[in-house]
Amino acid sequence: MKLSRRHVLAGLASLASVAPGRARAFGDAGAFHPRVVTSGGAKLDPERSSAPARWAYELVRRTSAPGRLSSASVAFDQPAFAAEPFAIWAGASALGPLSGPERRGLDRFLKMGGVLVVDDLAPASGAFGESARREVRRVLPELAPVELDPTHVVFKSYYIVDRPVGRVQGPARIEALIRGKYAQVFLLRHDLLGALARSRGGGFSLDVDPGGVAQREQAIRLAVNIAMYVLCSDYKDDQVHAPWLMRRRARRRP
C-alpha cells in the first residue's frame, strides 16, 4: 500500500512532538541512510549484506520519503559516525568491549539525537544482543531498557503495526532506551535484517519463520516505520523534515 503525499507529510508532522527539544545539527542530506556499525567486531554475513540498502529502498518505494539506496560501514569512534542520525548495530555473536573513543563517539551521537537499532541476528542464542546491551549500559548507565507500549508512535508512524517481527517472530514487545519521550536505542530480538535481505537473483535470502510471507510483510512495515521515525527525529536547527520534504517534492513536479 502506497499512500498519498498528503498522508506521508501528515505522518511526518505527527512525529514532531516526540523528538528532543534540542538537538545539534546532523548532515543536511535529509535522507534515510542505513549505516552499519562495525564497532566491537560486529559484522553482517553475506546473506544479509543487502538488507540495509533494501531497508532504504522499501521506504522510498512505499512512502516516497527520501532515502539513500546504498549502505555504508562506520565505527563509533569515526568522525563520520556523528554526521548522520541513524545506524544499525547488528551481529550474530558476542561483541568485544568498546574502547574509550568508541564509547565517547556513541555517547556524542545519542546526545545529538541519533537513533541506533541493535538487531540480534541470532536471537535464539542472544549472545550479540546481550553483549550490545552491556556496552550500551556502559555509555548510558542512568537509563534502563523499557518495553514500548503498542501505542508508541513507532508502531503507527506510517503503517499500523501490531507487534514487532523479523526473520523470527521474537518477543511481542520492543525494548528501547528512552530520553524524555524519545526512543533512541531500539533493542530488537527479531533479526529484522534477515527479513529484508535479498539475494543477487532478486529473491529473499532467508526464510521467515513461522509466519512466512505475511510475517515478512509485517517486518518490512516495521522497518519502514522505524525509518519514518528517524526522518522526523533528524533535526536541523530544531526544524522537522516535513517542510523540507514539501520543498523537495515541489521541485520534482513537472
Please tell me whether residue 49 adopts helix, strand or coil conformation: coil
How much is the pTM? 0.83
Contact by Cβ (8 Å): 164, 174: yes
Domain ranges within the chain, ordered by starting residue: 5-249
CA–CA separation, 75 and 37 (whole Å):
5
For the domain 5-249, what is the CATH code?
A: 3.40.50.12140
Q: What does each of the 254 residues of the chain score in pLDDT, given as a tens digit? A: 444 434 443 444 444 333 433 233 444 456 899 999 999 999 999 999 999 999 999 999 999 899 999 899 999 999 999 999 999 999 999 999 999 999 999 999 999 889 999 999 999 999 999 999 999 999 999 999 999 999 999 999 999 999 999 999 999 999 999 987 789 999 999 999 999 999 989 899 999 999 999 999 999 999 999 999 998 853 332 333 444 444 444 444 43
Q: Which three cell numbers stand for residue 66?
A: 527520501
DSSP code per residue over 155-171: GTSSS--SS--SSB---
CA–CA separation, 233 and 147 (whole Å):
20
* Cell 506510517, located at residue: 158
Q: Which three cell numbers stand for residue 148?
A: 514500548
Contact by Cβ (8 Å): 45, 186: no
Longest dimension (CA), the chain: 53
The Cα angle at residue 228 between residues 166 and 226, in degrees rounded to 5: 25
- For the packed helices 5-14 and 212-233, what is the interaxial angle rounded to 10 degrees? 60
